[in-house]
């Protein structure tokens, strides 16, 4: 059953897509209402506020849309049907490819979407910080799972793996924006993962790998 009232004359989903591109490349605060209305097809302020409520509310919707689409490169991290190492590798490689793709702004919206904020917009910063915290927890859980399953030894070198992966992941935003190529990030990830292998238990031996 269709809704009553005059129908909207612009495509709300496409508008959110366009707003995402703006917020993604410029960040929350520098993106003005004028730019937003313009990228939605020069809609009026009345149309904007009727549809989205406020700039902040739109941003929150954009973040949700991002997490449901581009942000899904992080999905393997929480997929317990994957082997922990595989989950981490897929996450890092997927994120590297996504962040350096040319079809959209470089880097990660969750990392850079509100990195410059005046005090009054701290809630917006907190929204993204909370998501990053989820990522950190994801890496930690993955490593913990690998230790529990006997894939990783329980040693100091293993404990730092989550911080290494998280820091590298977040650093890719800066690199991708600065023009570092996808292949370079991929190669770096390959090398990074040898740190995992160095703490891995070789099946059967219960010890660390010999050729390393």
Partner DNA sequence: TCATATATGGAACAATCGGTACATATATGA
Partner DNA sequence: TCATATATGTACCGATTGTTCCATATATGA
Binding positions for its own copies, rule: CB under 8 A:
26-32, 111-112, 114-119, 121, 129, 132-133, 136, 156-157, 159-161, 163-164, 166-175, 178, 180, 184-185, 187-188, 190-192, 194-195, 198, 212
Residues 16-39: b if buried by 16+ CB within 10 A, e if exposed: bbbbbebbbbbbbbebeeeebbeb
| C-alpha to C-alpha distance for 21 and 196, rounded to whole angstroms | 35
| C-alpha to C-alpha distance for 10 and 149, rounded to whole angstroms | 52
Residues in region 149-168 near DNA by CB under 7 A: none
Instruction: Write 69-74 long-range contacts (CB < 8 A, 24+).
Output: 70/98, 70/104, 70/109, 71/109, 71/110, 73/97, 73/98, 74/135, 74/138
**Region binding DNA by CB under 7 A among candidate stretches 39-47, 99-107, 109-117, 134-142:** 39-47
Q: Which does 212 bind (CB under 5 to 8 A by kind): DNA, its own copies, none?
A: its own copies
**Region binding DNA by CB under 7 A among candidate stretches 38-46, 66-74, 109-117, 168-176:** 38-46
| 31 touching DNA, by CB under 7 A | yes
Q: Which does 172 bind (CB under 5 to 8 A by kind): its own copies, DNA, none?
A: its own copies
Among 17, 21, 25, 56, binds DNA (CB under 7 A): 56
CB of 55 to DNA, least distance (A): 4
| 119 touching DNA, by CB under 7 A | no
| 19 touching DNA, by CB under 7 A | no
89: Cα separation from own chain's centroid: 15
Please say which residue, 52 or 139, places its beta carbon nearer to DNA. Answer: 52
3-state secondary structure 144-183: HHHHHCCCECCCHHHHCHHHHHHHHHHHHHHHHHCCCCHH
206 Rama class: left (phi>0) / alpha (psi -120 to 50) / beta: left
**Region binding DNA by CB under 7 A among candidate stretches 41-49, 81-89, 90-98, 199-207:** 41-49
| 123 touching DNA, by CB under 7 A | no
| C-alpha to C-alpha distance for 101 and 150, rounded to whole angstroms | 36
- Write out the residues near DNA by the rule CB under 7 A: 1-10, 31-35, 43-51, 54-56
């Amino acid at each position: 059953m269709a809704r009553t009232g005059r129908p909207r004359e612009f495509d709300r989903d496409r508008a959110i897509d366009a707003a995402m591109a703006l917020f993604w490349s410029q960040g929350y605060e520098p993106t003005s209402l004028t730019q937003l209305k313009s990228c939605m097809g020069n809609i009026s302020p009345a149309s904007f506020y009727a549809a989205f409520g406020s700039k902040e509310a739109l941003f929150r919707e954009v973040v949700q849309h991002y997490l449901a689409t581009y942000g899904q490169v992080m999905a393997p991290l929480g997929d317990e049907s994957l082997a922990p190492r595989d989950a981490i590798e897929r996450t890092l490689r997927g994120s590297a490819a996504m962040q350096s793709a040319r079809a959209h702004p470089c880097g990660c919206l969750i990392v850079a979407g509100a990195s410059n904020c005046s005090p009054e917009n701290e809630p917006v910063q907190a929204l993204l910080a909370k998501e990053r915290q989820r990522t950190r927890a994801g890496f930690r859980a993955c490593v913990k799972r690998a230790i529990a399953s006997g894939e990783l030894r329980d040693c100091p070198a293993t404990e730092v793996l989550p911080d290494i992966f998280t820091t590298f992941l977040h650093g890719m935003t800066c690199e991708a924006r600065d023009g570092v190529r996808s292949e370079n990030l991929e190669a770096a990830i390959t090398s990074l993962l040898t740190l995992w292998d160095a703490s891995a238990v070789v099946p059967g031996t219960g010890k660390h790998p010999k050729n390393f």
